[in-house]
Each structure stands twice: as structure tokens, then as C-alpha cells.
Amino acid sequence: MEKRIWIPFFGNFFCELGQVYDLAVRGFRAIFQKPFEKRNFWQQLEEVGVNSLPVVSLTAAFGGLVFGLQAYLAFHRYIGPGSESQGGPIIAVGLCRELIPILVGLMVAGRVGSAMAAEIGTMKITEQIDALFSLGANPVKYLVAPRILASMIMVPCLTLYGDVIGIFGGYAYNVLLMKVNKTLYLQNTLKYFEMWDISVGLIKALVFGLVIAIVGCWQGMTAEGGAEGVGRATTKSVVVASITILILNFFLSKVLPATL
Amino acid sequence: MSKIKIVDLHKSFEGKQVLKGLNLEIQAGETMVIIGQSGSGKSVLLKHIIGIMKPDRGQVFIDGREISALPDEEIMKLSRKFGLLFQGAALFDSLTVAENVAFGLRRHTTLGEAEIQRLVRESLEQVGLRGVENLLPYELSGGMKKRVGLARAIAYSPEIVLYDEPTTGLDPIRADAINCLILQLKEKLRVTSVIITHDMNTTYKVADRVAMLYDGRIIEVGTPEDIRNSANPVVQQFINGRAEGPITEW
């Protein structure tokens, strides 16, 4: 009995994985084929990047503040008063390598990945994707390729922006609010914080951008069953992209070296 | 040689057989109306003709070339030959009316912007629309959407125009105007038309020949007069719109 349940489950899982892989390959290939869909690409840059700035600003600022708070408490409690300035590099490294890429990834998955699934899903059920095909436009090239490229560019950009805001949040809590020695805090940060720490976060963000776009587009392209189906695709795109981001983050953290 | 030839077409969805060995030939310049119940596979047939769907078995030939065996890239190159009016118009939500109508022109031709804009205006006027170029699809009524969809389908002068329920949702006057336009296109441009409809007024007005699709096959083909006088009880029940008869599945 158990076998009967597991076989279709794994069958479907690998079948869907194959579909995602196929869409990713076709989407990538389409990026390099002429004519380039400039208009859609610019629209997606704005949608993924510019329109995500407020939410990324907020999450990065409060992420930085809370990380700064915990670092302050930890040093104050376990090392002793006066040692809080040593939290600077820990805050910067932790934010740039882990927290900001994850927060940006999850925020963009929720805001943009779901929108991609909803928009493409609506196009699918209202035959607009068939209309693209009938008018000589390759739907993968027209819809998927600009989204993949825009996400892979803008998620790292948002992460870099989030790094700056987050690090400032940590600094603000420690130096401005808790009156930690500013010179020591900055000296420690600059001494132990490396460019590679930022690069690790950006590499992760690049992968997360790809995951968000592919999952969102794939959910949209395979949506069926009217408005309910689009709703399901939208929810599924957020859940699948978020889980994939969290799992991939661990493996990327493990694979990417601590220092160069 | 037939313009469109469909041989032994089979298609099923999740185990449900929709087309069960459908055969049909359509000549160049002919207007073929395909009638049949809702859910009988008429739209599926249309999507096979244009190459959007691939058959499980059987072949579709356009000008002697087997479209059902071609890869998507090749089919898209052939799409210049086709104009398709979708049942729900399928206008692109994010584009204005003018951009929707210009979409095929930009893809299929190398015309300059001024010429494209002229053709857009001309196509919209042909379907009785003026001054709507800058509106977005959500600002249009159902009937207007349908007419914009038709303008988009004919803007680049395709050789074959496929209509999926062209008059559904239109008032009788607009519906008749669309019928006249279908006739006009046939006379002016000698286009081959394939029309899917339930509307028997449209059928009798525009058809050169009528084919009845029932149970996954074409059960009768003939002139409107032949269909009107058909001895087949299924055809008679359908064209006269009777609930009683051999068709029991609604």
C-alpha cells in the first residue's frame, strides 16, 4: 500500500523537476537569441528591482538592527562590558553572507515570484500565451527569458543595497543607541570584514534570483483550472521558491570557502 | 492541393478522448464553418490547425507541409500564414489596443512605425472601432474586445483566418457586421477561413461548406443547403436546437 503512495509521489516530483529544468534551459538559451525583448526586460528590471526597494529597505534595516541588538547582548553578557565593539565584524559578516541574501530572496520570492506566477498563470488561462504563439512570439523568449535575466541582475543589486542598510542598522543600534565606542567598532569591522564576504552573499543572491524567476514562471506556465488554479500557482510559487532558497543557502554556505 | 488537410487526428486529455480520428480537407479561399456541441473539441481542432497543440496521432497539413511534425520554432515561422481570433479575444492585458493590433505586424513584417500605425487604424476601422487605440483591454466591453481580437488577427493580412466563436457575446447587429466582415475578407483578400460557431445565422450567412463535429469525428460535410436537408438525425437535432433527439449528452 505504501509503495503505491510513494511511487506516484516520486514520479510526479521527478517529472516536475524535469519540467523546471527544461524551462530553465530554454529560458537561458532564449536570453541569447535575437531579437532581445528589451521592453519586457526593462519592465522586469523595474518590477523586480526598483519596486522592491521599500520592502528590502525595511527588512534589511530591521534585520541589521536586531542582529546588532543580539550581538551587543551576546558580547555584553558572555565577554563582558566594553567588549561590544567586537560585534562589528560579526554583524557585517553575518548580514552579508547569510541574513541579507536570505531576507532579500524571501521578500522577492513573496513579492515578485508570486506576481510572475499570477501574471503568467492568468495569461495561460485566458489563452494569451497561445495568442503569443499564434502571433509568432515564442512565449519562453517573450515572458521567461526577460524575467530570468532581470531577477539574476536585480536580486544581487538589492542584496548589495540591503548589505549597506543592514550594516548601518547594526552600527546604529550599537554606536548611536548603545553608545559603543565608535572608533573601535569601525576598526574591528574593517579589520575582519572582507570583500569576499560581500561576494559570497552576491553569489547566493544570483542563484536565488534564478530560482525565484524559474519557479514563478514555471508555476504560471503550468497553471490550470481558472482563477482557483492561478491562486494555487501563486501560493505554490512562494512556498517552493522559499523552501528552495533556504535549502540552497545551506549548501552554498557549505560549498563557498570562508575566505579567499 | 488542399490548403488545410487533417488526417486521422486523435487527441485525448487525461484519458478523455476528445478527437477520435478526425478527417477534413479545406480548399484555398474557402470558408469552412465547423459546428458542434460545446466541449466537442472544436477549439482543440483549431489549435491543432495552427500548431499550438500536437496530436496524439494523425497529421495536419498546411499547403502540403505537415505542420504537426514541425518543431515549435518552425511552426512560429509559419504563423505568418495564420490569423486567429480567440474565443475570449485573448488580448494582452499589459498592452494598449493599438499595441495589441500592432503585435503581429511587428513580428511578421519589417514595416516602419508610420505604416504600422496606419494599418492598425485601418484594421480597427474595419471592425467598426475608432478612437480606442490608447485604451487598455480592461477598459473595453466584451464585444469590443472581440473586435480588437479580430483586428489583431487580420492586421497583417494572413492567408488563413481562424475564428473561434466570432459572434458569441455580440449583439445581433454587431454579430451581423462581423459576418459581413468575414465575407468581405474572403472576397477582397481571398483568405481561407475556418469558423467555429454555434450560431446558425452565421453558419448560413458565411459558409461555403459546413462540417459537423460529433463524438470526436466529422460526421457530415456539405454546403449549408446540404446540412439543412441532411438526413442525419444528429445534424438535424443540432441545427434545429432541439433538446430531444439522439444527442443525449449536454
Q: Which residue in B73, B82, B91 is closest to A134 by CB distance?
A: B82
Q: How close B225 gets to chain A, by Cα (Å)?
A: 33
Q: Measuring CA to CA, which residue among B158, B156, B150, B194 is closest to residue B2?
A: B194
For residue B194, the cross-strand partners are B32, B162
Contacts of B76 in chain A (CB under 8 A): 133, 136-138
* B240 Cβ contact list (under 8 Å, min separation 6): none
* Residues in B 95-114 with any Cβ partner in A closer than 8 A: 103-104, 107-108
Are A128 and B47 a contacting pair at CB < 8 A?
A: no
CA distance linking residue A165 with residue A109, whole number of Å: 20
Q: What is the DSSP letter of A75?
A: I
Burial status of residue A239 (CB atoms within 10 A of its CB: 0-12, 13-18, 19 or more): middle
Are B92 and A137 a contacting pair at CB < 8 A?
A: no
Question: CB contact, 8 Å: B187 with chain A?
Answer: no
Q: What pLDDT was estimated at residue A6?
A: 64
Q: What pLDDT was estimated at residue A7?
A: 65
Are A135 and B90 a contacting pair at CB < 8 A?
A: no
Q: Which residue in B80, B84, B92 is closest to A128 by CB distance?
A: B92
CA distance linking residue A253 with residue A257, whole number of Å: 8
Q: In this predicted model, what pLDDT tens digit does every residue of A176-233 receive, in sequence order?
A: 999 999 999 999 999 999 999 999 999 999 999 999 999 999 999 999 988 999 999 9
Q: What is the DSSP letter of B139?
A: G
Between vectors from CA A121 to CA A118 and to CA A123, what angle results, nearest 5°?
A: 110
The enclosing H or E element of B209 equals strand B209-214
CA distance linking residue B168 with residue B148, whole number of Å: 14
Q: What pLDDT was estimated at residue B122?
A: 93
Are A135 and B72 a contacting pair at CB < 8 A?
A: no
CB pairs under 8 A between A and B: 53
Residue B99 contacts residue B92 (beta carbons within 8 Å): yes
pLDDT above 90: residue A49: yes
- Using DSSP's 3-state secondary structure scheme, residue B11 falls into strand
pLDDT above 70: residue A2: no
CA distance linking residue A242 with residue A111, whole number of Å: 12
Are B87 and A131 a contacting pair at CB < 8 A?
A: no
Q: Measuring CA to CA, which residue among B79, B77, B50 is closest to residue B164?
A: B50
Are A133 and B79 a contacting pair at CB < 8 A?
A: yes
Q: What is the ipTM of this complex?
A: 0.89
pLDDT above 90: residue A259: no
Per-residue pLDDT of chain B (250 residues; tens, 9 = 90+): 789 999 999 999 988 999 999 999 999 999 999 999 888 899 999 999 999 999 999 999 999 999 988 998 889 888 899 999 998 899 999 999 999 999 999 988 899 999 999 999 999 998 889 999 999 999 998 889 999 999 999 999 999 999 999 988 788 888 888 899 889 888 887 899 999 998 899 999 999 999 999 999 999 999 999 999 999 999 999 999 888 878 776 6
Residue B88 contacts residue B148 (beta carbons within 8 Å): no
* Residues in B 8-37 with any Cβ partner in A closer than 8 A: none
Q: In this predicted model, what pLDDT tens digit does every residue of A143-175 receive, in sequence order?
A: 999 999 999 999 999 999 999 999 999 999 999
Q: Which of A134, A140, A143, A221 to mutate to test the interface with B (most CBs of B within 10 A)?
A: A134
Cell output for A25: 534551459
User: Any idea which residue has 493599438 for its cell?
Assistant: B98
Domains and CATH numbers, chain B: 4-239 (3.40.50.300)
Contacts of B91 in chain A (CB under 8 A): 128, 131
Residue A26 contacts residue A144 (beta carbons within 8 Å): yes
Contacts of B82 in chain A (CB under 8 A): 134
Contacts of B74 in chain A (CB under 8 A): none
Q: Within 13 Å of residue B62, how many CA atoms lie on the same side as its CB?
A: 22
DSSP H stretches of helix in chain B: 42-50, 72-78, 97-108, 113-126, 142-154, 172-189, 200-206, 224-228, 233-239
How would you label A35-71 residue by residue, b for 16+ Cβ within 10 Å and e otherwise?
A: eebeebbeebbebbbeebeebbeebbbebbbebbbbb
- Using DSSP's 3-state secondary structure scheme, residue B61 falls into strand
Are A136 and B107 a contacting pair at CB < 8 A?
A: yes
Q: Return the domain boundaries, chain A.
A: 39-253
The radius of gyration of chain B's CA atoms, rounded to the nearest angstrom, is 18
Q: Measuring CA to CA, which residue among B91, B124, B80 is closest to residue A135?
A: B80
CA separation (Å) from A106 to A60, A112, A151? 12, 10, 13
Q: DSSP assignment of A34-56, as one string? A: SSP-HHHHHHHHHHHTGGGHHHH
Contacts of B107 in chain A (CB under 8 A): 135-137
- Using DSSP's 3-state secondary structure scheme, residue B229 falls into coil
* Residues in B 37-66 with any Cβ partner in A closer than 8 A: 47, 50-52
CB atoms within 10 A of CB B171: 10
Contacts of A130 in chain B (CB under 8 A): 47, 52, 86, 90
Question: CB contact, 8 Å: B132 with chain A?
Answer: no
Contacts of B86 in chain A (CB under 8 A): 127, 130-131
Q: DSSP assignment of A84-140, as one string? A: GGGHHHHHHHHIIIIIHHHHHHHHHIIIIIHHHHHHHHHHHHTTHHHHHHHTT--HI
Q: Measuring CA to CA, which residue among A75, A94, A66, A85 is closest to residue A179?
A: A85
Q: What pLDDT was estimated at residue A1?
A: 45
- Using DSSP's 3-state secondary structure scheme, residue A210 falls into helix
Q: In this predicted model, what pLDDT tens digit does every residue of A131-143 receive, in sequence order?
A: 999 998 999 999 9
